[in-house]
Structure 1
Amino acid sequence: MAKAKSEQQRQADKTKRHGVFTKIVLFIMALPITVMVTMIISILVEWGLIWHCDEGPGTTVCSFADFQPGMGVDHSRNMLRAEAGYVNQHFKDSLMGSAPVKLAGELITWTDDNIFRPIGIDDYIRKSNQEKGWAWNYFVSAYTIIKVVLLRLCVLFLSIPAYILFAVVGLVTGLVQRDLRKWGAGRESTDKFELSTKLISPSVVLCFVIYLSWPNSINPALIVVPFAAMFGYALHLTASNYKKYF
C-alpha cells in the first residue's frame, strides 16, 4: 500500500514538473504573439485618435492622449521623438549592452531596410498629395507607431536587469520566510502557492501590453518599475508558500 502510494506521488511530481516546463515554453512562445497583437492594437488606437480628434473638438480621450485638433501624423511623430529621448536619457549605459541608443537605431534601420522599403514605402512617400489621398495620414501614422513599438521593445529589453533585481530580492526574502515557516511549525497552503504562481505571468505580460499600447509618450519607469516590483512580489509569495519539505 505504501509502495503504491509512493509511486502515485512520484507520478504526480513528474506530471507537475512537466506542467511547469510546458507553462514556461508556452509563456516564451506567447511573448512574440503578444507583441504583434499589441502592435496592431497600438495602430488601431492611433487611427481612432486621428479619426476622432483630428478635426473635431478636443475631448477627454484626446486630452489624455495629448492629441490636439489638426495634429494628424504629428502626434505619432512626437511620440517617436519622445520615446527616442527616453532611450537616450535613461539608457546611455546599460548592463544589456554598451550602446543602447545604437541598438535601437539599428533595429529601426533594419526594419526599414528589410520590411518597409521592399514594399515600396519610398515610392509612396514621393507621390504628390493628390496621389496619396485620404489614407496618407493613416499609413504614415501606422509606419511611425511601429517604430514607437520597436523603441519601447528596446526599453523593455534594457529593463531586464530591473526585473532580475526584483526577482533576486523576492526569491531571497521568500525563501527566508519559508524557512521561518518551516522551523516555526507554520501551516502549508496549496491555494496560496497556486495563486502566487498565477501572478508571475501577468506581471510580465501586462507590462508588455500596457506599455507597448500606451496612446501617448510616457516615462518607461512609471510602468516598468511597478510591474517589476509586482514580479518580485509574486516570486516572494511563490517561494514563501512553497512546500516545507521536499
Structure 2
Amino acid sequence: YVTLMTLTRCVILVLTAPLFVMAALVGFVDGLVRRDLRRFGAGRESAFIYHHAKRAVTPIFIIGWLIYLSVPFSFHPNVFLLPCAVLFGLMISIATGSFKKYL
C-alpha cells in the first residue's frame, strides 16, 4: 500500500510539473516587467533582495515536492501544491525583478 501511494503521488507530481513551469514563466515575465519599470523609473536597486530570493527558489520547489511525498495521510494535491507553485512563481518574480545587471 505504501509503494502504491508513493507511486501515485509521484505520478501526480509529474502531472503537476506544467503548473510549476507556468508559475515560473508568469513569475519571470512579471519580474522582467517590474525590473524594467524600476530601471526606467530610476528606482532603488538592492542586491540583498535578489540574492535571498535566488537562494529561496530551489528549496521551495524541492521541499514542496518532498513534503507532499512524505506526508503519511491522504489529502487533495491542490491543497498543498497550488500554494507551493504560487510561492515558487513569486520567488522567481522577486529574483527577476530585483536583478541589477543587463539581460
TM-score, normalised to structure 2, is: 0.93
Give the letter aligned to residue 6 of structure 2: V
Segments ≥4 residues shifted beyond 4 Å: none
Give the equivalent residue in structure 2 for 1:180: 37
| C-alpha contact 1:166 1:229 (8 A) present in aligned 2 | yes
Confirm or deny that 1:195 pairs with 2:52. Answer: yes
Cα distance in 2 for residues equivalent to 1:183 and 1:154: 44
Cα distance in 1 for residues equivalent to 2:89 and 2:48: 19
Cα distance in 1 for residues equivalent to 2:18 and 2:8: 17
* CA distances 1:73-95 after superposition (whole Å, capped 9, x unpaired): xxxxxxxxxxxxxxxxxxxxxxx
RCO comparison, higher one (Cα < 8 Å, 6+): 2
Q: Which runs of 5+ in 2 are unaligned?
A: none
Instruction: Trace 1:75-154 onto structure 2 (pairs within 5 A).
Output: 144-154=1-11
Helix, strand or coil at the partner of 1:173? helix
* CA distances 1:123-176 after superposition (whole Å, capped 9, x unpaired): xxxxxxxxxxxxxxxxxxxxx212211110110000011111111111111100
Confirm or deny that 1:218 pairs with 2:97. Answer: no
Cα distance in 2 for residues equivalent to 1:155 and 1:204: 15
TM-score, normalised to structure 1, is: 0.40
Q: How many percent identity over aligned positions?
A: 36
Helix, strand or coil at the partner of 2:99? coil
Question: Offset of 1:187 from its aligned partner?
Answer: 2.0
Cα distance in 2 for residues equivalent to 1:245 and 1:172: 15
Q: Which runs of 5+ in 1 are unaligned?
A: 1-143
- RMSD (CA atoms): 1.2
